Structure formats: structure tokens, C-alpha cells
Chain A
């Protein structure tokens, strides 16, 4: 624990309590985030109940291959992030493993954004942006795509923040300026990363699966 005391910040006297407060704080923030996305998904649900056929038709117009690939990418990134968090919590020296996994996590997050970018390009070329040029003729298909762009856009912003946080840890680590033993920053970043991942699992079901069962 002697190394860990280098992480002690004002106003704390005990590293354990500081660490616990960090965990409590991030969980409170995640509760807030869940209500943020929860309200957005509620909006989607209400609109879908009111326009079931249009949402099924619009759901079929999404590109499920991009969505599925991204789900695989993001779930794998959660695995590498978990390895980082468990390795720091173990108390042993896993420096190379932690740095490798941080790098892979950030790379997978970036890969997700790249795939998303290709998907967006594809959507724009197919005129799936609400407006006068919109491709689908069902009455409320534009509403589905309005929510599609909002949901995926807000999620991508959250993921970008996550990537920057992980990159920051990785860069500090490579310059040997990151305390690796039980660092609360690593656990807090990990929790945030997993939340962004879990939200994507919901979005995948909401965006890509409607209208494809039959």
C-alpha cells in the first residue's frame, strides 16, 4: 500500500476511503447516465408503439452487418478493459499486460467509431437522413431515423469520451507516470467504459432488430 499513498488527494486522509468515494461517485454518475439514455429509449419506445409498422420497415432499412460487427468489437473491448481493471486490483505487477490491454481497448473503441463512420456514409448515400430527400415512403420512417441518428450520435460522443479517458491512462502508463497498483482512476474509467458498452447492447436490439424476425 506504500506505493498507493502517492495517489492520496485532498481532502482525504485514508486512501481506502478516497478510493471508495471515487467508486460511489462514479456509480452515482452512471445512475444519472442511465436515466439520460433511459429517457431517450423511452422516447423511442413510445414512438415505436404509436408507429409499429413504420418502425419495422425502417428497422429493415438499417445495415445489420455494420451493427453486428460493432457489437462484437465493443464486447471484446469490454473484455480487455476488464482485464485491465482486474490486473490493477490484483496487487501484482502486470504492467505490460495492463498497458497492452489499455491500448487494445482504445483501438477497439476507435475501430467501432470507424465502422460507425462507414455505416453513416452508407446511410447518407441511401438518403436515410430525415428531410426532403428521404428514401423510405412509410409515414413515420423519418421518425425512426430521427431517433436513430440521435441515439447512435449521443452514444458515439460517450464512446469518444471513453476512448480519450483510456488513451490518457495508456499514455501516462507508457511514460511511467501512472500508478498501476489499485489506482481508483483505472477502476472508474473501467466502469464508465462498461456502461457505454451496455448501452450499445440495448441500442443494437432497438435499432437493428425491428422488422427482421419474420
Chain B
């Protein structure tokens, strides 16, 4: 009320926020409100995250001892396959786009909802159906192909539930495409008056770039898995070398999706970090235009590097050469982003709240993951470390160190907006530091073990690698604790924490101009935008501690 009086607006009639506007289960399961659908997704992916985490806990326990003994080879194969399939398609791909993307995209561009609200809900039901297939595959006995479903093993030799697992991934792909189409149309058609393309927050740009990849890459995954299913179920010999089929073709199709999918996972996290670093450094983002071009460049070049997964698959050396070169090229826009985040801190007024800790952790871990990626882009090194723990460490630095840190950063940053409550700051900082330490304890030794030659996907190993595996497994225990902590204090905060104001962080951006939690249609008055994002201080000056002049929401015709 005081805010409204200060900005000269008339007080508005009070009405319930989106959380209290209908409390029955049906009102949630039939909702078309993007904010409620975001919550539905958040609950769903949290369940999948802990399912995938439980599987890998068993794997890490097994790896304590060189000769195993806890699990059979078969059970081990099924557990790491389940971990990969669940974490990639049911946690990482939908994590930030479908939770924060859904929640924030309309709020950030000043829209009442996404372009196709019913399609949005349909996409969630598809995710649930797909998850049911995949969990069925686990309960019925598991799948042992690894998350990559490589032929001819997956089509001709595996005796596990490949069909059900592939069907699950096939269906969740449609959910992904539907979300991508929805976000593209929303960004194009529903921006508030004055919200030009180069006034969009970087999170919106990141979501937009991600949506383009979802729409253009996912269908190729769908077809590669459809062919695997056709071969298993109907006996059509598509990838059977004895019939003239080409198993390597599957790898091309699979990685044509699955390499861009890495950018589906990391671009939204980059978007989240680009919101948080300016806010807690009280600085404008350094090089906004280049941040936008870098996002689009990563999304574009990302379609042309898939062959670096196949350097040892018998690919032509000329193809190897080009894919190696392009894999180095894609590091350039990624590096531009890292330099710009770092430069945004310069002459800032930095404070270290939990979101900032996660965001800074992201920058460090993403850089480590990215630099180790350059080792792998270089063919001579890649031949040496292919299918070793070096690769495992590399992509976990990007996906867990990068994407999951970004997810937790966003979770803490927007928690007051989503729930209307603050989280306990000390606990959150403790969890952030614990997560960073646990992560490095788990995955740093794997670089060494991999470089020394420990192959991935084996549950027994020579005793000289035990030291690295014990370090890794102990780190995983710390990491597991760090993931469980937020579950506890976030639940606590829903009931006991202090209420958050509209803008607890003094952040710029339209989502902070509405109430916390927002009303069902997001804004009581249509917002009008007359300045760029990250307006934390006058241009050309260094950071101050004053809150930014937020956009006023006013009636426009």
C-alpha cells in the first residue's frame, strides 16, 4: 500500500495471490496459470532429481572398493543408466526452462501468461506420462544401455527394458517441443509496451535461445529413438550391420540432439546467473549486447559440434578435423560470457547472499568444465581420455557444477517472489558452500583418475585407483547432504519464515514490481517499459547502494 502511495498510484482492491486463488487439488491439476504450472514442474523434477540421486548413491557406494561386491555388474549397469536417463531428460532438460522459465518469462516481459496456456499444461501431463514409462522400465527390471542407447547393443543384444525407457524419452521430447514453441511465441508476441528486444533481461534471451534448440533438436532425438523402438519391437533392421544398416548413423542422429541438449541445460543457468550477479554487485551487466550475441552464437554453433563425441567411432579424419575446430570455436562465446560476468563485478558493491554464492560458484565451476572441454575438443588428448572418468568429470562440471548450481542460485533468488517468504540466509549460505566443496571433492579426483586411465561404466577397477574413488565417494556424501539441506529449510520457510516484500533484493526487472507472490494475472496494471535491464546505477558511474528506479506499472491504452 505504501509503495502504491509513494509512486502515486491509487490503491487497488485486494484479491488473493496465485497460490491462494483456488486451493483444491483440481484447481492445481487443471490450472493454466504459468506460475502454478511452474510449481507442478518444480515438484515433479524434485522427485526425479532424488530418484536419479538415489541411483547414483548406490553406484558411488559400490565404487568404494575396487572389487565391488555390493552390486552385480548387471545391477550396476542398470543403476548408472537410470541415473543418466532420469537426470538428463527428467531433471536437467526441464529444470530451469520449465520451472523458472515458466514462472518468470511472462513476469519479466510484462505479460499476464504464456502465449498458449493450455498447451503449457498439456506439456506437463506429457512429462508425467513420459516419467511413468521410464519409471516402469526401472521397476520392471531396468535398462542397461547407458543413457545414450547406443546401437547395435540397444537394438540387438540388450535384454533389458529398452523399449519402455526409449518410449519415455520419446514422449518427454514432445513436452520439450511444446514448451519451446510456447516460449518462442510468448517472447515474440506478448512483450509489454516498450519492452524492445534489447531491453529484455538476459534470462529471457537465454530461455529464448534454449527454446530454439528444443524445437529444432528434439525431433531428431525422437526419430533416433523411434528407429531403435521399431527395430526392437517390429524387427525392422534399421541399424543392423548384417542387413546393410549403419550403427554409427545412430550416434550421429543421437548426438545431433544430445550435444545441443547440453546447451539446453547450460544456457538457462547462464541466464539465471546473469540476473543475479548484477543484482548483488549493484552493477549494470558488462557488455549486455555481447552477452545476447554470445547466447545466440552458442545456440547456433551448438548444432555443428556433435561429431566431437565420435572421434574414436571411425569417423572420417576430415570430419574429425572440422568438428574439433568448431568445438574450439564454441568456447569463444562461452569465454565472452565468463569475462563479462567477471567484469560486471568490477567496482561493484558486492554482497554475498546465498544466490550470489551459488552464482559465483557457477562461474568457477563452469570455467573449469569449459576448459576441460577444450582438452576433449583436441583430438590427440581426446583419443587418450575417451570413455574415461576425465569425460565424466568434464560433463559433471558443466551439468552439475554449472546447471545445478544455476538452478539452486535461481531457487534462492526467486524463492521470495514465488512463495512470498524469505528463506533462512545462514542455512542457505552454509548449504551453498557445502555444495561447492562437496562438488569439487566428488569430481576433481575424477579428472586425475580419468587421465591416468580409469574407464567409466565399470564397477571393478585396479586397486591403484581406489584412492581417487574413495575421495570421490566421500565427496558425494557431502554433496548429498548439501542437496538435502535446502529441502528442509525451504519447507520450514513456507510456514515460519518472515514475509518477503515485493523486492527484497532491490533488484531491477519487472518481476520485482508486482506483489510477492504475484496475483493470478501477474500485474494489476499493464507495465510500461522505458529503460533497459540492470538499471542499478546511472550509466558511466560506479555502483551505489541505492535501490534501482523500478519500472512503474501504469495504465496504458
On A, residues with C-beta under 8 Å from B are 10-11, 17, 20-21, 24-25, 28-29, 31-33, 35-40, 42-43, 46-47, 50-51, 54, 130-131, 139-140, 142-143, 145-147, 149-150, 154
Q: Complex formed: what's the CA distance from A46 to B240 in Å?
A: 14
Residues of B with C-beta under 8 A to A21: 115-116, 185, 188-190
Do A10 and B185 form a contact, CB below 8 Å, given A32-B219, A142-B243, A149-B236? no
Nearest CB of A to B136, in Å:
22
Do A28 and B185 form a contact, CB below 8 Å, given A11-B111, A143-B243? yes
Contacting pair B215 A28 (CB below 8 A): yes
Contacting pair A43 B219 (CB below 8 A): no
Nearest CB of A to B446, in Å:
33
**Closest chain B residue to A139 by CB distance?**
B244
Do A54 and B185 form a contact, CB below 8 Å, given A21-B115, A28-B215? no
**Closest chain A residue to B253 by CB distance?**
A39
Nearest CB of A to B534, in Å:
26
Task: Tell me if B238 is interfacial: C-beta within 8 Å of chain A.
Answer: yes
A-B pairs with beta carbons under 8 Å apart, 27 shown: A10-B32, A11-B113, A21-B115, A21-B185, A21-B188, A24-B184, A24-B188, A25-B115, A25-B116, A25-B182, A25-B185, A29-B215, A33-B219, A35-B220, A36-B222, A39-B219, A39-B224, A40-B227, A43-B223, A46-B249, A47-B249, A51-B244, A130-B243, A131-B235, A143-B243, A145-B236, A150-B238
**Closest chain B residue to A26 by CB distance?**
B181
Residues of B with C-beta under 8 A to A11: 106, 111-115, 117, 190, 521
- Known A25-B181, A39-B219; further 7 A-B contacts with Cβ < 8 A: A24-B184, A32-B180, A35-B216, A36-B223, A39-B220, A130-B236, A146-B231
Contacting pair A130 B237 (CB below 8 A): yes
Q: CB < 8 Å: which of A31, A35, A150 contacts B226?
A: A150
Interface centre among B184, B234, B236 (most CB of A within 10 A): B236
Task: Tell me if B246 is interfacial: C-beta within 8 Å of chain A.
Answer: yes
Do A36 and B238 form a contact, CB below 8 Å, given A21-B115, A140-B244, A143-B243? no
Q: How many A-B residue pairs have CB under 8 A?
A: 121
Task: Tell me if B45 is interfacial: C-beta within 8 Å of chain A.
Answer: no
Residues of A with C-beta under 8 A to B224: 39
Contacting pair B177 A32 (CB below 8 A): yes
Q: Complex formed: what's the CA distance from A149 to B188 in Å?
A: 39
Q: Complex formed: what's the CA distance from A37 to B222 in Å?
A: 10
Q: Can you list the 7 inter-chain pairs with the closest CB atoms, starting with the nearest? A: A140-B244, A146-B236, A36-B219, A11-B113, A11-B112, A21-B189, A39-B223
Nearest CB of B to A182, in Å:
17
Do A28 and B243 form a contact, CB below 8 Å, given A17-B189, A150-B226? no
Q: Complex formed: what's the CA distance from A130 to B245 in Å?
A: 13
Task: Tell me if B135 is interfacial: C-beta within 8 Å of chain A.
Answer: no
Residues of B with C-beta under 8 A to A28: 180-181, 184-185, 215
Residues of A with C-beta under 8 A to B180: 28, 32
Residues of B with C-beta under 8 A to A146: 230-231, 236-238, 243, 245
Residues of A with C-beta under 8 A to B190: 11, 21
Q: Complex formed: what's the CA distance from A146 to B239 in Å?
A: 10
What total of chain B residues lie within 8 Å of the partner, measured CB to CB? 45
Q: Complex formed: what's the CA distance from A143 to B180 in Å?
A: 34
Q: Complex formed: what's the CA distance from A175 to B234 in Å?
A: 42
> Interface 1/0s, chain B 497-512, versus A by CB < 8 A?
0000000000000000
Nearest CB of B to A139, in Å:
6
Residues of B with C-beta under 8 A to A37: 223
Task: Tell me if B218 is interfacial: C-beta within 8 Å of chain A.
Answer: yes
**Closest chain A residue to B34 by CB distance?**
A11
Interface centre among B116, B182, B521 (most CB of A within 10 A): B116
Task: Tell me if B147 is interfacial: C-beta within 8 Å of chain A.
Answer: no
**Closest chain A residue to B219 by CB distance?**
A36
Q: Complex formed: what's the CA distance from A147 to B246 in Å?
A: 13
Task: Tell me if B256 is interfacial: C-beta within 8 Å of chain A.
Answer: yes
Nearest CB of B to A33, in Å:
7
Residues of A with C-beta under 8 A to B188: 21, 24
Contacting pair B189 A20 (CB below 8 A): yes
Contacting pair A43 B238 (CB below 8 A): yes
Contacting pair B246 A10 (CB below 8 A): no
- Per the 8 Å Cβ criterion, residues 249-263 of B in contact with A are 249, 253, 256
Interface centre among B32, B182, B190, B238 (most CB of A within 10 A): B238
Q: Complex formed: what's the CA distance from A2 to B199 in Å?
A: 35
**Closest chain A residue to B248 by CB distance?**
A46
Residues of B with C-beta under 8 A to A147: 236, 238
Residues of B with C-beta under 8 A to A50: 244, 246
Q: CB < 8 Å: which of A25, A32, A42, A46 contacts B218?
A: A32
Do A130 and B189 form a contact, CB below 8 Å, given A36-B222, A39-B253, A54-B244? no
Nearest CB of A to B211, in Å:
8
Do A150 and B236 form a contact, CB below 8 Å, given A11-B111, A47-B246, A143-B245? yes
Q: Complex formed: what's the CA distance from A198 to B302 in Å?
A: 29
Nearest CB of B to A89, in Å:
20
Residues of A with C-beta under 8 A to B111: 11
Nearest CB of A to B260, in Å:
11
Contacting pair A130 B235 (CB below 8 A): yes
Q: Complex formed: what's the CA distance from A131 to B246 in Å?
A: 18
Residues of B with C-beta under 8 A to A35: 216-217, 219-220
Residues of B with C-beta under 8 A to A143: 237-238, 240, 243-245
Residues of B with C-beta under 8 A to A54: 244
Q: Complex formed: what's the CA distance from A172 to B217 in Å?
A: 36
Residues of B with C-beta under 8 A to A32: 177, 180-181, 215-216, 218-219
Q: Complex formed: what's the CA distance from A165 to B226 in Å?
A: 24
Residues of B with C-beta under 8 A to A40: 223, 227
Contacting pair A139 B243 (CB below 8 A): yes
**Closest chain A residue to B522 by CB distance?**
A11
Q: CB < 8 Å: which of B106, B113, B116, B253 contacts A43?
A: B253
Contacting pair B177 A29 (CB below 8 A): yes
Q: Complex formed: what's the CA distance from A213 to B433 in Å?
A: 70
Residues of B with C-beta under 8 A to A51: 244
- Per the 8 Å Cβ criterion, residues 364-382 of B in contact with A are none
